[in-house]
């Protein structure tokens, strides 16, 4: 199984060295590592070039700098850089999109390869990720078993080809797995025997944590989350730091996107999302009722 790993990055001088060191320590090295500089103005391209000089499987590709934007994530430049980088590669069976702010567990590539080989229906896979809490201890990020964190996404070739082209909008890295499940593929996150890869930056915090939560709400609008699901997700996020504000900004992002009618996934996928969310809610309700009865008795 030929594994190609694509790492789009923009001004990641702080974290890129940790990612590259953890790639070099993989028990199963990638067959090809494509480092895509998406217009950096810091030292990260030089760091990537130095790594590529001593690791024959690594290549640095550079895209031109873009004019400054109010929010560079809205137009999904990361997706564009990933697709552009992947198009430059040779034959592959599994392609990974990794964020530059990760520190990988040494068995990540080998374990994900084993999962793909064991289940031909597995279309998209990834690892559960942990991040450091306020006291410097690793805590696993919230991630349902069927969801794959966008920071480490591994695609089977036939699956990615079936769901492409992906729309260059916020939420594309959830739309991909939804399209995959709608087409009959399985999507899953797995625990790594050597421990969770570490997310070195709090999710969504690279340019302000509250803006990150508003983006998450906008993404929920884009892929068609059911309003009740959005409300529940917003309430759950109110427990995150800063208290209340994270959930309120998530809900505000969704409401603003709805008011502005920002771009969305196709209607068939949005219906699939809502049906899937309703089914999961119905499965949870009996367990909730049993727990409530047990507490009363």
pTM tops 0.75:
yes
Q: Tens digits of per-residue pLDDT, 132-174?
A: 888 889 999 999 999 999 999 999 999 999 999 999 999 999 9
Segment 37-63, tens digit of pLDDT: 999 999 999 999 999 999 999 999 999
pLDDT digits (tens, 9 = 90+) for 191-209: 999 999 999 987 655 667 9
Closest CA to 246 of 200, 220, 277, 208: 208
- Are 185 and 123 in contact by the 8 Å Cβ rule? The answer is yes
pLDDT at 4: 98
What pLDDT score does 295 carry? 42
**Confidence category of residue 293, pLDDT binned at 50, 70, 90:** very low
The CATH architecture one would assign to domain 3-199 is Alpha-Beta Complex (3.90)
Query: Where do the structural domains in the chain lie, given as residue ranges?
Result: 3-199, 209-296
- Can you tell me the mean pLDDT for 100-107? 98
Predicted confidence at residue 286, as pLDDT, reads 65
């Amino acid at each position: 199984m030929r594994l190609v790993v694509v790492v789009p990055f923009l001004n990641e001088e702080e974290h890129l060295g940790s990612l590259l060191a953890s790639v070099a320590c993989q028990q199963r090295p990638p067959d090809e590592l494509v480092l895509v500089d998406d217009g950096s103005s810091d030292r990260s391209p030089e760091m990537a070039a130095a790594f590529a000089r001593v690791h024959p499987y690594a290549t640095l590709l550079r895209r031109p700098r873009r004019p400054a934007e109010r929010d560079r994530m809205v137009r999904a430049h990361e997706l564009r850089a990933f697709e552009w980088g992947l198009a430059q590669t040779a034959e592959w069976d599994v392609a990974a999109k990794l964020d530059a702010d990760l520190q990988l567990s040494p068995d990540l590539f080998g374990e994900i390869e084993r999962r793909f080989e064991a289940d031909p229906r597995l279309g998209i896979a990834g690892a559960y990720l942990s991040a450091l809490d306020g006291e410097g201890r690793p805590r696993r990020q919230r991630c349902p078993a069927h969801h794959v964190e966008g920071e480490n996404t591994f695609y089977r070739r036939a699956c990615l080809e079936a769901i492409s082209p992906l729309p260059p909008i916020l939420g594309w890295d959830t739309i991909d797995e939804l399209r995959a499940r709608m087409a009959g593929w399985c999507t899953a996150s797995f625990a790594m025997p050597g421990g969770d890869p570490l997310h070195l930056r709090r999710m969504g915090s690279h340019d302000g944590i509250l803006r990150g939560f508003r983006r998450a709400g906008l993404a929920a609008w884009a892929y068609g989350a059911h309003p009740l699901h959005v409300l529940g997700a917003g309430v759950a996020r109110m427990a995150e730091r800063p208290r209340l504000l994270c959930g309120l900004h998530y809900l505000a992002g969704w409401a603003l996107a709805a008011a502005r009618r920002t771009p969305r996934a196709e209607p068939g996928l949005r219906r699939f999302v809502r049906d899937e969310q309703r089914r999961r809610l119905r499965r949870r309700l009996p367990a909730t009722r049993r727990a409530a009865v047990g507490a009363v008795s």
